A and B are shown apart, each in its own frame.
Chain A
Amino acid sequence: MNPQSAIPNAPRRTSPQSPEPLILAFCCHYCAYAAADLAGSMRLQYPANVRLLRLPCTGRVEVNYLLAAFERGADAVIVAGCLEGGCHFQEGNLRARRRVERAKGLLREIGIEPERLEMFNLSSAEGGRFAEIVTEMNERVKHLGLSPMKPDAQSIQAAMREMTHEADERIASEPSGRARGSAHAK
């Protein structure tokens, strides 16, 4: 059984009641993700409500990923790629910028502020810049307010209960002590 679900009201990393906005950052492996790593090594402070998604290149970002993030309740989305001219795949970051622009147009049509989505360019040496970007987006979202697509606390709790239940069932259905048991047997 999942130990966390065994304890009712156990503290979780993401509190459903939290008014903090959720920011999703699509980060290129070669720049923004390394910059985030550097920001950590430099002990820089930046808002903890950002979730990083590592991509091999921002050229992997599709418009539907960006919309899906908003549909699932992200308050802001960052696409962070290499400096222009510095893409490891030549023009992935340039393509990403154009897709971000298209997604902004769609957000406008939908009725969501396009400012919630932004593309940034930085190098892997710019840990400070990464912290700045996240802080800037966090401030921007605080100014705009939470996303109108944000599920209410009850829906989040229901979704989390469902996920926990699914995880419990999956764990219960797995053969018990498979890998660990054999390792301990030696």
Chain B
Amino acid sequence: MIVADRKKVPEIRDMISKHTKVLLVGCGTCVTVCLAGGEREIGILGSALRMALRLAGHADVAVDECTIERQCEDAFIDILAQRATQYDAIVSFGCGAGVQALAERFPNTAVYPGLNTQFIGILESQGVWTEKCSGCGNCRLGEFAGICPITRCAKRLFNGPCAGSRDGKCEVDADLDCAWQLIYDRSKALGILDNFDAIAEPQDWSTGLDGGPRKVVREDQHIAGLGPKA
């Protein structure tokens, strides 16, 4: 899932203080699970922002809250569409995709981000999320026993470990597990240590972010002229 954390109250306050009616929009998917932008967090931030605005002399700014199931799909934004026309600004508590989906849908309304989108990751332990995927567009997890060296090795080595691996930890950060130690341990458990004999080829980065935003097209599903942005 997409992991995000919230922006500080003063930063959001300063973004919206010049508006008169502001709607905070939460997202019920990834950011609800990572406790950043769901219904509960929106309630907290709404209360905090109203107080912060009032203390900063902007008591006239009205702040309301609502949460939709998913901000990154136009069909879910439909539920919000009529209500949104009553506001001159929206603060999206979705990931960067959610913010931009709202901005595209409401061209005449200012849209601001309420969260800092961090990464694609998983829940490591209660209240702790870690990054697992860099979205490189060319997944090679099969070569590395299911552990991504691009995301989890601080040096992004394809033929590790380096000499900085000490007792299973990375020299860059003593709290960071060495990805190549993890790859070695898991390969050993799976009986595929032979993989270490081969040299991993360099990554084809042409599938990455260089060259602008990426697009996935499913020819069998694609119907020209049909869809929210057609």
Residues of A within 8 A of B9 (CB): 106, 109-110
Stretch of A29-37, A62-70, A75-83, A127-135 with 4 or more beta carbons under 8 angstroms from chain B: A62-70
| In-complex Cβ contact of B55 among A63, A68, A111 (8 A) | A111
Q: Is A126 close to B, CB under 8 A?
A: no
Residues of B within 8 A of A62 (CB): 40
B50 close to A71 (CB less than 8 A): yes
Q: A71-B50, A71-B51 are in contact. Are A109 and B8 (CB under 8 A)?
A: yes
Q: A64-B40, A64-B44 are in contact. Are A112 and B55 (CB under 8 A)?
A: yes
CA distance A70 to B9 in the complex (A): 16
Task: Please give the distance in Å from B37's CB to the nearest CB on chain A.
Answer: 14
Q: How many residues of A contact B (CB 8 A)?
A: 14
A112 close to B51 (CB less than 8 A): yes
A149 close to B54 (CB less than 8 A): yes
Q: Is B52 close to A, CB under 8 A?
A: yes
Q: Is A145 close to B, CB under 8 A?
A: no
- Determine the main DSSP class of B at the interface with A: helix
CA distance A109 to B10 in the complex (A): 7
Q: Is B47 close to A, CB under 8 A?
A: yes
Task: Please give the distance in Å from A2's CB to the nearest CB on chain B.
Answer: 30
Name the residue on A nearest B55 (C-beta). A111
B residues 47-97 in Cβ contact with A at 8 Å: 47-48, 50-52, 54-56
Q: A109-B8, A109-B9, A110-B9 are in contact. Are A63 and B44 (CB under 8 A)?
A: yes
Q: Is A40 close to B, CB under 8 A?
A: no
- Against B, the Cβ 8 Å flags (1 = close, 0 = not) of A41-68 are 0000000000000000000001110011
Q: How many residues of B contact A (CB 8 A)?
A: 14
Q: Is B43 close to A, CB under 8 A?
A: yes
Residues of B within 8 A of A112 (CB): 51, 55
Residues of B within 8 A of A109 (CB): 8-10, 48, 52
CA distance A128 to B54 in the complex (A): 38
CA distance A106 to B9 in the complex (A): 8
Residues of A within 8 A of B8 (CB): 109
B40 close to A149 (CB less than 8 A): no
| In-complex Cβ contact of A110 among B40, B43, B55 (8 A) | B55
CA distance A63 to B43 in the complex (A): 9
Q: Is A85 close to B, CB under 8 A?
A: no
Residues of B within 8 A of A71 (CB): 47, 50-51
Residues of A within 8 A of B55 (CB): 110-112, 148-149
CA distance A109 to B47 in the complex (A): 12
CA distance A63 to B48 in the complex (A): 10
Name the residue on B nearest A103 (C-beta). B44
- Against A, the Cβ 8 Å flags (1 = close, 0 = not) of B87-129 are 0000000000000000000000000000000000000000000
Kindly name the residue among A70, A106, A148, A149 whose own CB sees the greatest number of chain B CB atoms within 10 A. Answer: A106
The 3 A-B residue pairs with the shortest CB-CB distance in the complex, in nearest-first order = A67-B47, A109-B9, A64-B43
Binding site for A on B (CB under 8 A): 8-10, 40, 43-44, 47-48, 50-52, 54-56
- Contacts A64-B43, A149-B55 aside, 14 further interface pairs with beta carbons under 8 A come to A64-B47, A67-B48, A67-B51, A106-B48, A109-B9, A109-B48, A110-B48, A110-B51, A110-B52, A111-B52, A111-B55, A112-B51, A112-B55, A149-B54
Binding site for B on A (CB under 8 A): 62-64, 67-68, 70-71, 106, 109-112, 148-149
